[in-house]
Amino acid sequence: MAVNRLVRSVTYPSDGDNSGNQYRIVALDDAGRVQVQTAAATPVLGVLQNKPGAIDAAAEVAIVGSIVKLEAGAAVSERDAIQAVAGGRGSPTTTEDDDIVGYALTPAAGSAELFEVVITAPAQFRT
């Protein structure tokens, strides 16, 4: 069965070589460039969709309302709230006020697996 997925994206300059960070969580640095997000306490921009290979190369970022692939940083269950962890990967959180990218639509058995997420960023997890 064919499935359509909505992707709303914006383009910003990359902060460097992000060719190995496709499908990872990103934010904007102080210079307005896309960088990999590594902490749950910082607001998220979205999920990187392409592979920009140099500083100032166009980085396409899926934003709020998009349904996209995301690389897992740990096992994920459907409907988990997803935060950024090391390397911009997505992991579940149940911690109040963590900045999240969105909610898992499909599971991932462990780190480095791809799963689907609906992006709600910028948002904070509430219990």
Bridge partner residues of 58 (DSSP): 13
* pLDDT at res. 123: 73
The strand pairing partners of 47, in sequence order, are 25, 62
> Residue 94 has which token pair?
């149940």
* The predicted structure's pLDDT at residue 27: 95
pTM: 0.93
Looking at residue 2, what is its pLDDT?
A: 59
Low-confidence ranges of the chain (pLDDT < 50): none
Give me the pLDDT at residue 127, please: 63
Q: Of all residues in the chain, what percent are helix, strand and coil, respectively (each to 5)? A: 0, 45, 55
CA dist 109 and 26 (Å) reads 22
